Amino acid sequence: MTQKTITLTDNTSGKSTDFDVLEGTHGPGCIAIKNLYKDTGYFTYDPGYGMTGSCKSSITFINGEEGILLHRGYPIDQLAEKSSYLEMCYLLLNGELPTDTEASDFNSTIKTHTMVHENIRDFINGFRYDAHPMAMLVGTVGALSSFYHDSLDINNPEHREISAHRLIAKLPTIASYCYKHHRGLPFMYPDNDLDYVQNFLHMMFAVPAQDYVQSPVAAKALEVMLILHADHEQNASTSTVRLAGSSGANPFASIAAGIASLWGPAHGGANEAVINMLENIEQSGETIATTIARAKDKDDPFRLMGFGHRVYKNFDPRAKIIAKLCHELLDDLDGDQPLFDLALELEQATLNDEYFQERRLYPNVDFYSGIILRALNIPMNMFTVMFAMARTVGWISHWMEMHNDPEFRIGRPRQIYTGPAKRDYPS
Ligand code: SDX
């Protein structure tokens, strides 16, 4: 099959240059511009890299126009319905669903790493009582690299694998410790007789004075939430992990960089911002109409939180699944039905609004997730921690893929310089 190319013609010099078009399994091809500067003397300009392919990846595929999300080829709605979070972790890390034996071995391996060094407890207790859990999480995950000197050689595949297992196993423990510290409650050790999600709920809500009565409905809802948030291609935090890791930084430092990026309200912090927005409408008397008007006002920095997406120009398939989960669970979980009803009303109002329809702004994964998390009694300042806990497997899977990529090199974007022309220092 002949190689597809694109010809670039410089209309000042008249010189034409052909560039190869690289095609993947699904999705648009990418113009390979590795020799662009050598052949044309120009760079490209793409603020936010919205039109730039940074790597080849076989982990996740998104079709933003059609609202399609595949993980290793499997549609997200099928995974949410049929898989478990640890099976999803195996799939993202290894590329295939596990056999029963592989799944059993993987689950056992993860269980051997659920505890953290006792000094981590002291480390977390060093934070102010009112420290935001995301501040504690980003610091604590970075600090993990001070405990595992035996496995920080990023060129050693075994070191990379045990670090991935440690991160997947320890994030729930650390997340629950951040919550307990914030509440001034004693930390609960992991209970390896419980499955991954039940163990997290145990560490979050059990206290020494009484056991936590597991709710199968809550555990199932959280399992689905973790699956939906596990990975999402080259989003801001995953690209941060890849860029940090491209310098050779250890996996704990690279994941800490991803946690920092996810914290922003335009990214993973949106789930907390959505609830604040809905509560503001509920409590301030601001109507849905005035909220939407503010979101449309270019002089107002306010954006409708939970709406819009860099890639999805259709419904985020995850938002559809979470909305369905809300319908199913709010009664069982004694959830905030009025807040959910308000969210549905806000969504309906945007569907009938030209501004949102013209710009193809639909609810994203964060629009409904806060309602489920609140129904699980998870406080708002822990929402992005939950997102980070789920996305850790996606981040480390991309970090591992990058280190196995023959084209791997340190990330180093260029720029258009707009500063002063060369000048001499005053004599
Ligand atoms: C996540 O990348 C990922 O995959 C992320 C994520 C993942 O799983 O990792 O999916 C998770 O981060 C979801 C997004 C959560 N963030 C929010 O809900 C915050 C609110 N959303 C916006 O901040 C915004 O939509 C972004 C940041 C998500 C996308 O920003 P873009 O790419 O700049 O949006 P755009 O180019 O599509 O905007 C086009 C127009 C602009 O107006 P005009 O200049 O054309 O007049 O739409 C406007 C924007 O101002 N717009 C909004 C809006 N989002 C875009 N206007 C009001 N409210 C909004 N939410």
| pLDDT reported for residue 210 | 87
Check whether 334 has a pLDDT greater than 80: no
Closest C-alpha to ligand 1, atom 31: 310
Are 369 and 322 in contact by the 8 Å Cβ rule? The answer is: yes
pLDDT value of position 384: 96
Atom 27 of ligand 1, nearest CA residue:
266
**Pocket around ligand 1: residues whose beta carbon is below 6 Å from it?**
232, 235-236, 266-267, 270, 295, 303-311, 359, 361, 364-366
- Cβ neighbours of residue 376 closer than 8 Å, sequence gap 6 or more: 218, 221, 222, 333
Nearest residue CA, atom 37 of ligand 1? 310
Residue 180 Cα, ligand 1 centroid: separation in angstroms? 33
Paired strand residues for 9: 16
- The alpha carbon of 32 and the centre of ligand 1 are apart by a number of angstroms equal to 27
For position 66, what pLDDT does the model report? 94
* CB burial readout 411-422, b (16+ within 10 A) else e: eeeeeeeeeeee
pLDDT score at 335: 77
pLDDT > 90: percent of the chain? 91
Which atom of ligand 1 is closest in space to residue 267's alpha carbon?
12
pLDDT at residue 286 in the model: 87
- Per-residue pLDDT for 262 more than 80? yes
pLDDT tens digits along 46-82 = 999 999 999 999 999 999 999 999 999 999 999 999 9
Residue written as token pair 């407890």:
121
pLDDT digits (tens, 9 = 90+) for 413-427: 999 999 999 999 999
Tens digit of pLDDT for each residue in 91-130?
999 999 999 999 999 999 999 999 999 999 999 999 999 9
Cβ atoms within 10 Å of 212's Cβ, excluding its own:
16
**Burial of residue 329 (number of CB atoms within 10 Å: 0-12, 13-18, 19+):** buried
Residues designated as active site:
267, 309, 366
Confidence of residue 329 (pLDDT cuts 50, 70, 90): confident
309 C-alpha vs ligand 1 centroid, how far in Å? 4
Give the distance (Å) from ligand 1 centre to CA of residue 158: 39
Mean of pLDDT over the chain: 95
Q: pTM of the prediction? A: 0.95
Give 188-231 pLDDT, tens digit per residue. Answer: 999 999 999 999 999 999 999 988 899 999 999 999 999 999 99
d(CA 115, CA 111): 9
Tell me how far the alpha carbon of residue 311 lies from the centroid of ligand 1, in angstroms.
9
How confident is the model at residue 332, as a pLDDT? 83
Nearest of 410, 400, 381, 401 to residue 167 by alpha carbon: 400
C-alpha span between 264 and 270 (Å, rounded): 8
* pLDDT > 90? residue 285: no
**Contact criterion met (CB below 8 Å) for 292 and 302:** no
**Residue to mutate (ligand 1; options 310, 367, 398; most atoms within 8 A of CB):** 310
Angle at 380 between CA 141 and CA 365, to 5 degrees: 85
Look at ligand 1, atom 55, and give the residue with the nearest C-alpha.
308
Confidence band of 14 (pLDDT split at 50, 70, 90): very high
Question: What's the pLDDT score for residue 328?
Answer: 86
Tens digit of each residue's pLDDT (9 = 90 or more) over 74-102: 999 999 999 999 999 999 999 999 999 99
CA angle 34, 40, 43 (to 5 degrees): 60
